Structure 1
Amino acid sequence: MDRAQKITIAVSAMVVAGLVVLAAPPVIDAAGWAAARVASLGAEPAASPAPSEGGAVDDDAEAEEAAEELASVGNGTFIPAGGPGDCEEAAWIHMGEMNAWLHGDIPDQGVREFAAGEAGLDDEGRVVTYTVAPGDALYAISGRFCIANPHSIDTLNHTRMIQPGDVLLLRPNKTLPWIPYYSPPDAPAGYQQIPYQNAVEAMSAAAQAGDVDAMRRIFEDDLAALFPNPDHANVVARALELDRLDVLRHMFA
């Protein structure tokens, strides 16, 4: 069993029993695709139409038609069917207690205004990352790759603002750990998240630079003690111990 398998097994044993999905971000994109669709589906119904001479209104048919307007993106989440822009289907990035995963596919719809960067592919030719170009905007990036919850991209990548040169993870691996950005798992009421968030951002920058020694210092000095659950801290510690930069880059994308 290699090191990656050991980490995957350790993480799976810890997180599978207690995954709690964070509140889903609003369903929006650059063109207001989902916002308009949700508004139309969720608007207050008008006064019930009177039965026509041909017969009564078929409420069941109307309900069935409305249901067909929604599509499941996993984990009990439903969004308007179809996809943003020219996309036939929408992808959705889920973030849980200690992992993140992609529902659907993220085909590259091509370079466009405000999304002119380069897509990074895996060995199977699938889009995995995106390198931000000058002038890029988050909504245009999400539209290019059919991602219906664009603000999940910056959260997934532990940043409040994307910058040229940033390599954004777009296809998280559910079998690997991912460290939440805004607060640690099991954070108690009143938890002061700013020190935690600053430490996570520093870990992310060191991971992007490939500096594992810096990550060890940041973890020991600033981050380790901020996890309410020591088991979660131990997942990071184990990856640092094994010097697994690939896993650390996924943790702190």
Structure 2
Amino acid sequence: MTRVLLAGESWTIHEIHQKGFDHFTSTSFGTGADAFIAAAAAEGIEVEQMYGHDVAAKFPRTVAELSSYDVIIISDIGSNSFLLTPETWKDGARSENSLRALVEWTRQGGGLMMAGGYLSFQGINAAANFARTPLAEVLPVRMLAGDDRVESPEGSAVSVVDPEHPLGRLFAGAPDLLGYNEVALGDDAELVANVGAHPLLTTRAFGSGRSLAWTSDIGPHWCPQPFLDWTGFSPLVGGMLRWLAGEHA
């Protein structure tokens, strides 16, 4: 069975409720990967999610630890969560660079995916900042220097660029998307599909492994409910994960 780890797609919400003279606070927790995980399950693939608040301490840091998985997905979580381990952030001590390990793991045969969001690629105010990390070497895109978000509330159409690619046949009838991270096609990468005039799905062979970039989100708001309800969503998710694992899409 394909072993998949998804890091990110969770958040804590801290709200202030002001009611006239008085106020109080409340805290809640949210996730954005439920539809994606369900789509993978419908294709017979189990996805393990590591919530964002666990990544700094628990994300695998070595090639040996990463090798417990066939596919690793980074989605809507910035580079600081991987680089600022508790040892480094709290104690000022050296620690392993998990992003550097991810590059070598991919080179040795792993499948690495980055999905878009406010804290993917460069993200809001360039806070995700993956362009200045080792992952810039392995991803099939070139990231911008600054904030790369493109909001498209009116909808941006999805178009297939390479219908001969194993994933190119999976977009028939795809609904519009409401936003994405703007990127440029990377060197020796394949452009499978666009959203508007920019890359949506790109792939790349990297050493013995593979990398894939999906520049829209895997849940609302950029990936809206009509896209999640589209009959092609589960086959597309399954196809991407199987391609990353070196299987037939």
- TM bucket normalised to smaller: under 0.3
The normalised TM-score by structure 1 is 0.23
**Bigger radius of gyration among the two:** 1
The normalised TM-score by structure 2 is 0.23
- Structure richer in helix, relative to its length: 1
